[in-house]
Chain A
Amino acid sequence: MIFKIFQASEVETLFELLSVNRIVGPVEKGRHVNGSTLYDFDVVYDFKDLKLDYGQTIHSAKNYFLPYRENLCTFTFENNDWQKHVDFGAYQAHVFFGLHPCDINALNKLDKVLMGDLYPNPFYGAKRSNMFIVGHSCLPTPSCFCHSMGADSVLGGFDLFLTRMEDEYMAEVRSARAYHILERLETREATHEDHLLFRKTASEKRSLFTCEVDTSDLTKILDMEFESEVWKEWGDRCLSCGTCANVCPTCYCYGVEQEVNMDFSHARKVKQLYSCNLVDFAEVAGGHNFRPESSTRLKYRYYHKHRGFVEAYEESLCVGCGRCGEACLADITVPEVIASVRGSEK
């Protein structure tokens, strides 16, 4: 692994060098009622708009690689026959500037499901193969629990990772493309002092977490507490609106619908991201619903994230970004739900 040090002000040069491409990064999106600034990912045209000191964005960046709505194919109808046309919907490379470790970890987890050996999804793959990722270090917000989920640092899946250390950046270079771009900045080699400073910065960050989740033996505990009353209590609070899945960086489930043109000459097959909390998620033709109560749907969400995925890939599907808790209209947060299932509420 190669490390480089550069002045914090050089990050603008880096942005300018990359700006011949489409850059997606954190920008300001307005104010919360409590006065704090709201951030979200958007296309950035001017370095002044890029807010690298953001706490957390409202949504993850998934709309750029797992669009909320996406055409899977179009059909043309002619002479009692049809033709199918498939387009993976990727036309240019994107630079993602300023992703936090949680969001890069989320991509790495999605890769396991969507780009694995079994039916790899080319719609995701086409976009994922055309991403240049510049990660950026962060400080925990009150709702972050990435540390508990092992997602507070990231080992790969990016081109460049920038850790802010006082008025300099330590850059971790993970691709030749990133290396060549850094050659055009004023950088220096990292010294022993820089290494020490890096460790100090990391431990300072760790000390700032205020929110925690105890994940020890969680897969077993979730199985033992499958019939627990707490699920019903959370289910009664849950509005089954699907907002949590909307903002989640790792929720990938979807539904497919087909639409026919008014003149019957064309049809489209449209994929739309869905949520397992929505009432008809597991309803089959004929009306039988395998998860009719909101409590069983909420429980399923936790089982998928914290148990099933762990069994399959030895890691949780949750990265602890805290977005779902912030967005939830009923104030349901992952740390509280898991603590109650463990029977360790404060």
Chain B
Amino acid sequence: MMDNKLQFIDLADSRGLKNDRPGIAHFEYSYKAEITNVYPLTATEKLYQIQIIDPKERENFNFKPGQFVMLELPGIGEAPFSISSSPIRHGDLELCIRGVGKMTNFLDRVQRGTRVGISGPFGTHFPVDKMMGNDILLIAGGLGIVPLRSPIMSVLENRSRYGRVDIIYGAREPLELLFTYQYGMWKQFDINLDIIVDKADDKWTGPVGLITEILQKRIDSGSYDDFRKKTYAIVCGPPVMFQFVCDMLTRAGLPMERMFVSLERRMHCGRGKCCRCNIGSTYTCIEGPVFDYWSVLNLKEAI
């Protein structure tokens, strides 16, 4: 009778994750990384420098601007975060995180030296290579500057390969502005940086109002032809901002397939399995988070 016993197939010698097929054995694999430094940027956001510990793994960690990682705090939780550092730094990452939920509030209290898990990189990216030779317009609202910092760094490092570069950044109030220590450097690289706030404080000397006002000025200073033929735009911000900004850009002549947005959704896996990030049935973790505006228009409830 024993020959009817079905032979157990041990898939990918699962127990030790020692298999060479990274696809299946690495599903639940995370690179061990260390929080090497924590900078407070504002009252609620901090910049975490996180380094993958193994030098080989760190060197082989290749990502493109706009992609995200899953950051795991063992015993606490795992969540997706956009990478804010330059791709040339490989697995020496910077993540800008607001303390807002269970996991991020825990993260808010950790000290440097804490060991965490990193998996990824996941998702689509801003096509910074394809954008070479063109003007670039980066528009960020609030925390939207976080996923934009990686393409900004990438453009800075290859400044000669791009035409006019503008960053338009809106925040609720001056104290909420992120990466203030870098504005001087960005300007030195011949980048036009326009910042607008909703509500000024005593020290604020810049403009007050909506991001669309600055954008209108930028549109008026360029030609329809330039927008139609040699401009790329990257937009990221709160859901309400997308529609206004993208509509304005479309009217200014920018083709939809040259306008990129980065969307935020809840994620529990980052690998197209948990469905939490689905828009319709498009996985934000696989087909996004970076979409061109044409794809967004075709997604119900995307923005």
Q: Do A and B come from one complex?
A: yes
Listed stretches A111-119, A166-174, A207-215; interface member: A111-119
Distance between Cα atoms of A122 and B17 in the complex (Å): 11
Q: Is A47 an interface residue (CB 8 A)?
A: no
Q: For the complex, give the distance between the alpha carbons of A284 and B276 in Å.
A: 10
Q: How far is the CB of B4 from chain A (nearest CB, A)?
A: 5
Supposing A75-B74, A75-B75, A77-B75 touch, asked if A254 and B11 sit within 8 A by C-beta, the answer is no
Q: In the complex, are the beta carbons of B24 and A177 less than 8 A apart?
A: no
Does any Cβ of B come within 8 Å of A92's Cβ?
A: yes
Cβ contact of A91, chosen from B8, B17, B74, cutoff 8 A: B8
CB-based contact B75/A303 at 8 Å: no
The answer for the CA separation of A308 and B76 in the assembled complex, in Å, is: 33
Within 8 A of A (CB), among B72-90: 74-79
Known A90-B11, A130-B6: A118·B272 in contact at CB below 8 Å: yes
Q: What sequence of 0s and 1s flags, for each residue 284-324 of chain A, a beta carbon within 8 Å of any chain B beta carbon?
A: 11101011000010001001100111011000000000000
Contacting residues, chain A, for B113 (C-beta < 8 A): 80
CB neighbours of B117 from chain A (8 A): 84
How far, in angstroms, from A119 to B275 measured CA to CA in the complex? 14
When chains A and B are docked, how far (Å) is the Cα of A95 from the Cα of B4? 11
Q: Return the CB mask of B245-289 against A: 1 if under 8 Å, else 0.
A: 000000000000000000011101101111110111110001000
- Within A101-153, which residues are at the interface with B (CB < 8 Å)? 113-114, 117-123, 125-126, 129-130, 132
* Number of residues of chain B lying within 8 A (CB) of chain A: 56
Interface on chain B toward A: helix, strand, loop, or mixed SS?
Answer: loop
Q: Is A20 an interface residue (CB 8 A)?
A: yes
Docked complex Cα distance between A304 and B24 (Å): 25
| B222 contacts A by Cβ under 8 Å | no
Q: Are B28 and A73 in contact (CB under 8 A)?
A: yes
Q: Distance in Å from the Cβ of A116 to the closest Cβ of chain B?
A: 9
Cβ of B7: which chain A residues have Cβ within 8 Å of it?
A: 93
Residues 18 to 47 of chain B near chain A (Cβ within 8 Å)? 23-25, 27-30
Residue from A260, A267, A300 whose CB has the most chain B CB atoms within 10 Å: A300
Beyond A20-B5, A255-B276, A260-B75, is A120–B115 a contact (Cβ under 8 Å)? Answer: no
Give the contacting residue for A253; candidates B4, B24, B104, B274; CB below 8 A: B274
Q: A-B contact count, CB below 8 Å?
A: 163
**Nearest opposing residue in chain B for A74, CB measure:** B74
Stretch from A198-206, A275-283, A334-342 contacting the other chain:
A275-283
Chain B hits for A53, CB < 8 A:
none
Q: Is B101 in the interface zone, CB < 8 Å from A?
A: yes
Q: In the bound complex, what is the Cα–Cα distance between A129 and B24 (angstroms)?
A: 13
Minimum CB–CB distance from B254 to chain A (whole Å) comes to: 26
Q: Is A68 an interface residue (CB 8 A)?
A: no
Q: Does B268 contact A72, Cβ atoms closer than 8 Å?
A: no
Residue in contact with B6 in the complex, picked from A21, A114, A304, CB distance below 8 Å: A21
Chain A: which residue is nearest B143 at the CB level? A286
Which residues from chain B sit less than 8 Å from chain A, CB to CB? 1-2, 4-12, 14-15, 17, 23-25, 27-30, 74-79, 98, 100-101, 103-104, 113-115, 117, 239, 264-266, 268-269, 271-276, 278-282, 286, 300-301
Q: A120-B27, A290-B265 known; 14 other A-B pairs, CB under 8 Å?
A: A75-B74, A80-B114, A81-B115, A84-B117, A93-B6, A119-B27, A122-B24, A129-B11, A255-B276, A258-B78, A260-B76, A282-B265, A304-B278, A308-B282
Name A's B-contacting residues (CB within 8 A). Answer: 17-18, 20-21, 72-73, 75, 77, 80-82, 84, 86-88, 90-93, 95, 113-114, 117-123, 125-126, 129-130, 132, 177, 181, 223, 226, 252-260, 264, 267, 269, 274, 276, 281-286, 288, 290-291, 296, 300, 303-304, 307-309, 311-312
9 A-B Cβ contacts within 8 A? A20-B2, A84-B28, A255-B268, A259-B75, A286-B98, A304-B278, A304-B281, A308-B278, A309-B281
